[in-house]
Amino acid sequence: MATEDTIAAIATPKGVGGIGIIRVSGAKAEEICHLLFRPGKDAGPLKNRYLYHGTIISPETDKGIDEVLISLMRKPHSYTGEDTLEINCHGGPLILETVLNEVIKAGARPALPGEFTRRAFMNNRIDLSQAEAIIDLISVKTDKGLNLALSHLRGDLSKKIGRLRESLIEILAHLETAIDFTDDDIEPVPYAEISGKIENSTQNIREILSTYREGKLYRDGLNVLITGKPNVGKSSLLNRLLGEKRAIVTSVPGTTRDFIEEAINIRGMPVNFIDTAGIRDVNAVVEKEGIGLVWEKAESADIIIVLLDGSAKLAGEDLEVIEGNRGRKIALVVNKSDLPAKLKNRELEKILPCITPLWISAKYGRGMDELKEKIYVLACDNDDDFGSDIVLTNLRHKLALEKSAELLAQAGDTIKKDLSPELPALDIRESLDCLGEIVGITTDEDILNEIFSKFCIGK
């Protein structure tokens, strides 16, 4: 990707707003600034990282387009590491497009998605894992997810990967000494000591990998499917959890025929609730199709809320729902606790002996806090490791770390067999490359293109 040219884009979201920002980066940024900007008063030479008030004009007509604030950030102390101009306009779409067109006429070209951040990476302002953290930062849904994204943006994961690479480089140096000086008087490091260093590095990688489930939950969220026979209160439960009327509630079976999905925040974890059609034997084609989709959706759900009616005896449809979800992660919830109970816990214990039912009233909101806590506990699997300092959130990073650990284990086995040091040295080099992929040291162009294509234009 060429970085000699100058790029420009609208950096704020589409639509009408109070302020809209146009970002310009590259060698011509300052030239474009002088060509288009007229300060409100004679300010002399523009200072670095100062905010100036004035007007953007069209050089062709010398007429003002908008009253603006501009800032000029000279390299290398800018987001991209290049000369950067930011023009703060009024937030009307027409104004922004008009100013952007003048910037492009003055020598810039439209930026590609993620091109500003890619230039920051190419100019060593950030590494690749920090660039990916910026995507997370933009799309984050909860405070916990925000903290994880900020941690990666600060470079906490990068520093950890850097220390791991230093350890492997040291191991590789010991192995190469054994290769190069086999016939000399230099005493190589004993294989047992090298093996211990490899095991220590492998364990450090596995500790990072163990946090991925936590990171994935906080980054991508949790899918919770609410299922049960008709009229057990699935839609009422969804409305109560959301704190608003989102699903239609009636006494007519089959009211819900399609999926209704809405998300809430449970202890920093984004949880997506999915209300589904009631499970029953039907002849209507549309409703039958909806019920079929329920079972398909259950396959990909993280947690299934099996909702029962506590004011009625267990029916065949209830048993069908329970049996159809057996083996999945289930929250067994009994609704309508405000009515006289006809369902007994001992009946449910015989069917699902390891699951304690939770009694609630969706109508009056009883048990909602307990249900949210149950969902959180099921998601975490009572994992005491949640809350680690470094939390892995990215699948690409996970795969690279898994490959790195696999290669290290292979190198360790080779050393234990007392084979030639060339063999473990080759595995260590490949393991180093895997770690380098995470921060962008050894990442190929296709992967870079894929990563930065996920960014919005202007970032």
Residue 279's closest CA among 303, 301, 253, 261? 253
Token pair, residue 134, equals 């910026």
Report how far residue 52's alpha carbon sits from residue 115's, in angstroms, rounded to the nearest whole number: 26
CATH superfamily of the domain spanning 222-380: P-loop containing nucleotide triphosphate hydrolases (3.40.50.300)
Write the pLDDT tens digit of every residue in 249-280. 444 444 444 567 888 999 888 999 988 865 54
SS3 of 149, please? helix
pLDDT confidence of residue 248: 47
- Rounded Cα–Cα distance for residues 285 and 282 (Å): 8
In the chain, residues under CATH classification 1.20.120.430 are 131-211+391-440
Give the residue range(s) of CATH 3.30.1360.120 domains in the chain: 7-126
* DSSP class per residue in 152-179: HHHTHHHHHHHHHHHHHHHHHHHHHHHH
In the numeric block, which tokens belong to residue 431?
């393991």
- In tens, the pLDDT along 410-433 reads 999 998 888 888 898 999 999 999
Query: What's the rounded Cα separation, in Å, for the pair 257 and 439?
Result: 46
pLDDT tens for the chain, 459 residues long, are: 446 799 999 999 988 999 999 999 999 999 999 999 999 887 788 999 999 999 999 999 999 999 999 999 999 999 999 999 999 999 999 999 999 999 999 999 999 999 999 999 999 999 999 999 999 998 888 888 899 999 999 999 999 999 999 999 999 988 887 776 555 555 566 778 888 999 999 999 999 999 998 898 888 889 999 998 888 998 899 999 988 665 444 444 444 445 678 889 998 889 999 888 655 444 444 444 555 566 677 788 899 999 999 999 998 888 988 988 888 899 999 999 999 999 999 999 999 988 999 999 999 999 999 999 999 999 987 655 566 678 999 999 999 999 999 999 999 999 888 888 889 899 999 999 999 999 999 888 988 999 999 898 889
Q: Whole-prediction pTM value?
A: 0.81
The architecture CATH gives domain 7-126: 2-Layer Sandwich (3.30)
How many Å apart are CA 125 and CA 131, to the nearest integer?
A: 10
Domain with CATH 3.40.50.300 in the chain: 222-380
Task: For domain 131-211+391-440, give the CATH number.
Answer: 1.20.120.430
